[in-house]
Structure 1
Amino acid sequence: MQNSFKLARAAAAGLVLVLTPVFGGPALAGDGFNLAGLFGGQPEQRAITTSIFIASTRKGGDHPTQLTPGAKARYALDFISVPPDHQPGRIERPAFGGPNPDHHFMLREQSELEPNEFGEQLAAQLSGRVGMNRDVLVYVHGFNTSLDDARFRLAQIVVDTHFGGVAALFTWPSKSQLLAYGADKEAAMASRAALRNLLQTIAATPGVGRIQIVAHSMGTWLTMEALDEAALSGSPDLHGKLGNVMLAAPDIDLSVFREQIATLDPSHFSVYVSKDDRALQISAGLQGDRRLGSLDPGSDQDRELIEKLGVGVYDISDLSTTLIGHDIYADAPQVIRQIGKRIEKPRPADADVQSVIDAGADRTPHPAPNQIDSQALPAPAASAPTAVAGVTPAAPAVPAAAAVK
């Protein structure tokens, strides 16, 4: 664990380049210097290793699908290697055999943490970020998602968005089976208190900026439940630390979402919807109700529903490249780069509380060929919405006071 803590301190900026000297020897953590450039050759690109804090209600094991006793969170610090030839929107995995760090995502190292160690390590990473982003990005995965799927997805989001803060994954014991929807819903339901505790722990960490949340599918329901419970306990905005909450393909019944958002400030929330999301269509068939993530902003009836919700809704239907169309938020480079810009840009309400000390923080650790030309994701326009980089704002934003009661 001592070596892991050394790596954690070296990863205080959130990213560590894994370098292999050209003359052999062990891998090093460094700043991208490569001896090949001294002899007229092209510097060799190296894998990026990003550190991710883990809070998990999965019981131990290589492929944990059972709840921890009492659904209490276990903690870890993972180091995920992202290949130098990584393409935005993809998670490169081997078709067979073991992963190759030159071409595949892989787990480099993991250290189990006691609850007090989790808090100490999180505080240590934040305290060492002078002149850098002190936000924490929390990712909550959805249905039919393994532990590797979840942590690799977060690593992909961190790299593709150029997020400069600290990343944290909340993972719950999905069985990773298409026919286990009911079991997954129960596991997610049992994990609500653990997620709320994680968010409250982060909010209370000295030096933290804003807590940015990206949640997907069934994880959006879990996130809304945890935030609702926090609101009922007297902290609807996590004591002023809640930033943007991005709900991607939310697998939430519309009537349930109305009840959840009624206790919260809707200006924090952005919803990414697709009318062609096959997974949500199946979920609606199983649940017998309409899902938030399958709203069609092109429909007059749905536009009226959207206006009453008071949240920003963005239509990404046209960006799907797969039959299912459930992972567009992270698969489509146009969307993922705009999510990154939204995370980076302070909300108007936070104008006097900058969590990003230096918004122009250097991002050179990312391989130059894969850098993304980020564009701002605009708030839904007060007049006719317009498409920006393929992402269409679906309806005018409604002031918080007009949220559904």
Structure 2
Amino acid sequence: MQRWIMPRPVPLRPAHSRLVVPGLVAFVLSSLGLAGCADTGLSAITTPVSAFDGLFSGNPQADPHRLAVFVVSRRKGERGVASEEMSDNARFSFQTISVPPSHQAGQIERPSLGDQDSAHDFVLASRRSMGEEEFVRAIATHLSGRIGSNRDVLVYVHGFNTSYDDARYRLAQIVEDGRFGGVPVLFTWPSTNSLLDYGAAKENATVSRDALTRLLQQLGSLPDVGRVHILAHSMGTWLAMEALRENAISGSPDLNGKLGDVMLAAPDIDLSVFKQQMARLNPSHFEVLVTANDRALSLSRTLAGDRPRLGALDPHKTEDRAALDALGVKVVDLSSESTDLLHHGNYASAPDAVRNIGAEIGKSRIEDANVQAVLGQKPVDDKISSEPLPPLTPAPTVAEAPVPTPAQ
């Protein structure tokens, strides 16, 4: 077993005054000992989406900037009851998310009350619905002409008890803090905001498997893609593993040679189930981020009849270490990185943890070393390696459209 024991992070600066930690939600979570997989401190209160507010000041350090995100959703809508219901088919969109200039690593700044403000909050700046073929072409266009790790795609699969907003803003925060220069793709599925609907959420994840399987197939077939990385959290790790297993059964366990890092954060997976899933996959692609004191996974274990959850194994215990050794995967212990009450969202809320994720998926590769040749300069020097570049601006084929008023 390879073990990566993370150092303690630099202490966080005081959170932004507008960061939401709603009292009612905090009370319920502390009472039940579970936040599901909602790994943010986001409010259960939904703030209406408005058009991108305010003009840029012309000062890059004072202005928000936008991140382009491609989204595949199995939800009927983005808010209210519709966001918790399964759609008949996958829905596709291209979205831009504004990151505030005052953003602090590990945080998702959102308003607790009142209107959202792009100077201080993560804001949905624009959204454009697409058909499936247009969606795939748009990603291909977005990848065209890139070099190095900027040719990579990061697919994020959230977990239980995660709203649509929680999911897209969490991905934006991970991309921002991890300095990922490739193309981010969110796969979102109906996971209710009720902490008591754990069983229903698992059924929704099961129904969503085929859509995620198809998405991974499509991404692995893009001609200009470098690697397809996957970051999944909690119950979303089971969904991601099932999609990879289905692809393996169909004859493509490595997505046409394009599979990159598969990072499973706090995986809510039965250990014996994970062994069966891994039997068809190459463990060298996998990193399991464990937290021995994860209170959410502790309750999940109880609900599962005291069956151990992969994400709560402790590599410092002889029995658990032996189980992890047998899997052959890389193990990252985040037990000392806790920044929240439940210790369930360390992978993204602890600044050092999310930066290491970004460094892992953005590291230089030998096959991408000919940067000079790609740029049309002198013949490549074998000592030169690529470095992540800033993401390109969206291509004209995916031009931004105004955000619709919320009635979805």
TM-score scaled by structure 1?
0.77
How many positions carry a matched residue from both structures? Answer: 326
1:54 and 2:71 aligned: yes
CA deviation after TM superposition for structure 1 residue 126, in Å: 0.7
Q: CA deviation at 1:361?
A: 3.8
In structure 1, which of residues 246, 262, 266 is the aligned counterpart of residue 279 of structure 2?
A: 262
SS in structure 2 opposite 1:302?
helix
Q: Could you tell me how far apart the structure 1 residues matched to 2:358 and 2:224 are? A: 21
Which one of 211, 215, 219 corresponds to residue 198 of structure 1? 215
Show the counterpart of 1:231: 248
Q: Which runs of 4+ in 1 moved over 3 A?
A: 17-22, 350-358, 361-365
The match for 2:342 is 324
Q: Residue 161 of structure 2 contacts residue 194 of structure 2 at CA under 8 Å; is this kept in 1?
A: yes
The residue number in structure 2 matching 1:68 is 87
With the length of structure 2 as denominator, give the TM-score of the two structures.
0.76
Residue in 1 aligned with 2:405? none
Structure 1 residue 62 displacement after superposition: 2.5
Q: Are 1:135 and 1:355, in contact at CA under 8 Å, matched by a contact in 2? A: no
Equivalent residue for 1:210, pick from 222, 227, 240: 227
CA 1:123–1:316 in 2, change beyond 3 Å: closer, same or farther?
same
For the pair 1:246 / 2:281, whether they are aligned, the reply is no
Cα distance, 1:129 vs structure 2 = 2.4
- Give me the whole-angstrom Cα distance separating, in 2, the residues matched to 1:334 and 1:77: 29
3-state SS of paired residue (1:329): helix
Q: Does structure 1 residue 292 correspond to structure 2 residue 310?
A: yes
Aligned positions of 1:39-188 closer than 5 A: 44-63=61-80, 64-69=83-88, 72-130=89-147, 133-188=150-205
* Separation (CA, whole Å) in 2 of partners of 1:62 and 1:311: 38
- Deviation sequence 1:279-325 (CA, Å, 0-9, x none): 00010011111100000111011111111010001111011022201
Q: Which residue of 2 is the match for residue 39 of structure 1? A: none
Q: Where does residue 333 of structure 1 map in the other structure?
A: 351
Instruction: Report the alpha carbon displacement of residue 19 of structure 1 after superposing the two structures with TM.
Output: 8.9
SS of 2:86's equivalent?
coil
1:20 aligns with 2:39: no
Query: How far apart, in 2, do the equivalents of 1:246 and 1:260 lie?
Result: 15
Cα 1:176–1:362 shift into 2, 3 Å: same
SS of 2:95's equivalent in the other structure is strand
Q: Could you tell me how far apart the structure 2 residues matched to 1:302 and 1:103 are?
A: 43
1:360 aligns with 2:377: no
CA distance in structure 1 between the partners assigned to 2:54 and 2:180 by the alignment: 21
In structure 2, relative to structure 1, the CA distance for the partners of 1:354 and 1:281 (3 Å cut) is farther
Say whether the 8 Å CA contact 1:344–1:359 is kept in structure 2. no
Classify the secondary structure of the residue corresponding to 2:184.
strand
Shift of 1:351: 4.2
Structure 2: segments with no counterpart, 5+ residues: 1-51, 375-384, 393-408
Give ranges in structure 1 of 5+ residues lacking alignment.
Answer: 1-16, 23-33, 37-42, 366-405
Query: C-alpha separation between the residues in 2 aligned to 1:163 and 1:249?
Result: 21
Aligned equivalent of 2:288, options 271, 278, 295: 271
Hey, what does 2:323 align to over in structure 1?
305
Tell me the residue number matched to 1:371.
none
Pair 1:228–1:257, CA change in 2 (3 A): same
Change beyond 3 A, Cα 1:355–1:339: farther
The secondary structure found in structure 2 opposite 1:123 is helix
1:267 to 1:163, Cα distance in 2 relative to 1, 3 A: same
Which deviations, in whole Å up to 9, do the C-alpha atoms of 1:108-127 show, x marking residues without a partner? 11100001110111111011
Partner AA of 1:195 in structure 2: L
Distance change in 2, residues 1:321/1:44 (3 Å): closer
Separation in structure 2 between the aligned mates of residue 362 and residue 352 of structure 1, nearest angstrom = 16
Distance in 2 separating the partners of 1:304 and 1:272: 16
CA distance in 2, matches of 1:184, 1:136: 26
Asked whether the 8 Å contact 2:99–2:123 carries over to 1, the reply is yes
Query: Superposition RMSD on alpha carbons, in Å?
Result: 2.2
Separation (CA, whole Å) in 2 of partners of 1:361 and 1:353:
11
Give CA-to-partner distance per residue, 1:124-162, whole Å, 9 cap, x none: 101142567110000000000000000000000010011
CA deviations over 1:337-379 (Å, ceiling 9, x no partner): 0001100125xxx7446799773244599xxxxxxxxxxxxxx
Letter in 1 for 2:358: G
Percent identity over paired residues: 52
SS at match of 1:236: coil
Using the alignment, how far apart are the partners of 2:259 and 2:53 within structure 1? 33
1:163 touches 1:340 (CA, 8 Å); kept in 2?
yes
User: What amino acid does structure 1 have at the position aligned with 2:86?
Assistant: L
User: Which structure carries more relative contact order (alpha carbon 8 Å, separation 6+)?
Assistant: 2
